[in-house]
Amino acid sequence: MLASKGFWRGTLLLCILGASPAVSEATPQFARTYRVDCSYCHSAPPRLNERGLRFVAAAYRLGGDEERAPTIPLAIWNTVDLEWRHSADLVKGFPSRVELISAGPIGRSRVAYFAEWRALSQSIGGDGRLLNRSGRFEDLFVRAPVTLGGALSVTAGQFRTLTQVDVSLRLSLSEPLVFSSNVPGRRAADARLTSLRAFSASGRQPAVRVEYQATRAQSAADGWFAAATLPLTGELTIPFTDAASFEFEGRPKGMFLEAFRRSGLTSVGGHMFVGDERRRLASAVVTHDLGNRFALLAALGAFHATGVTDTRFSIGGEATISSRVVGGIRVDHRTGQGRDPAVLLYGNGHLRFGASSFPQALRLQIEHRIQPANHATGFALSHVF
């Protein structure tokens, strides 16, 4: 009964967000800096539009002589989750994160940094108990051009290996299975190090990446891209719990290679991981945008580790109802699990409020997973400022 009430309250709030009158929306740090609303860089927060892609590619600069207002280079993202696991008869609400985010160019150079730190980070584990990993960095890296034109660049720090699709900017609660499913690594003395030795395309770890953009057209975000990433075992943290302890193992996991072509919001490409312990991963990925109203994703991957070989696919689409409301559907499947495919229905709502000098936003995400072995509904309500 409690879960049923939560579902309808969440649905009602999403409808309210969609029915709210049009207002100027804003992402906090850069909206304060450049005095723009969030629709300038986002088709639906946090998903970027073409201007947003160019903004990131230009080291967080709009270009031209836009006046930059002085502001604290920091955004704060607070989230409360409600998870209803139908299959396990579990309903639990909890604060899932308090996140501090800062990014921007370093001085007048083309070098840029990005830092995303979770002072609070909680999730529900497989046993139904809360797992507290507070203090970990989601991202902490510096990106610097090597050549004058910026065609060759180096990124160092902790980040996701996959660049063609930035799953941090997804509108659903979960990541596409092809990107998030890991290839297990060599067992260690403790379970935490064993988990850190695993590799997935969207997984984050200390790493160094060299990226080359073969063609630079009118947009720095368009053209052919090729990247080679050396991922290392570990996690950079300011640890508050044992589950987020600082770990670093100098031995590389392997080599991650990626190549794709991007034109606007459409991209076609693939990636491959060649690792130790005979681990292999290869995937083909296509994203396509239809007039900023419909976005499509298709990804197919083959994975191999000692004693394990399977294929995985994720196919989905999103419909932009307004700049504040997006609905989507995705099908995820992994052949090696012996389960039926999972169908995920999700919605994302965004509402801006507050003064232009101090913009704030509420964000609601709803996701319903239809799968006999893992039937679940999740809600995440965020306050960003």
More confident residue, 359 or 157: 157
Residue percentage of the chain with pLDDT more than 70 = 90
Which domains, and CATH codes, for the chain? 2-384 (2.40.160.10)
Helices then strands, counting H and E runs in the chain, come out as 5, 20
383 — pLDDT class (breaks 50, 70, 90) = very high
Contact at 8 Å (CB) between 379 and 348? no
Tell me the chain's radius of gyration from C-alpha atoms.
20
Give tens-digit pLDDT for 188-243.
888 889 999 999 999 999 999 999 998 755 677 899 999 999 999 999 999 888 88
Kindly state the average pLDDT of the residues 316-323: 89
Q: Which residues pair with 377 in a beta bridge?
A: 84, 368
C-alpha span between 313 and 317 (Å, rounded): 14
The confidence score (pLDDT) of residue 79 equals 97
pLDDT tens readout for residues 119-162:
999 999 888 899 999 999 999 999 999 986 668 999 999 999 99
* Residue 63 pLDDT level (bands cut at 50, 70, 90): confident
The label of the residue with tokens 């704030």 reads 360
Which of the two residues, 324 and 332, has the higher pLDDT score?
Answer: 332
22-49, pLDDT tens digit by residue? Answer: 333 335 788 788 877 777 888 888 888 8
Place of tokens 């990626």: 258
Classified as helix, coil or strand, 40 is: helix
Taking the CA atoms of 267, 43, 204 and 346 in sequence, report the sign of the dihedral they define. negative
pTM attached to this predicted model: 0.88
Q: Which of 157, 176, 175, 165 is nearest to 229 (CA)?
A: 157
Average pLDDT, the chain: 86
The whole-number average pLDDT for the span 360-370 is: 95
Look at residue 280 and tell me whether its pLDDT is greater than 90: yes
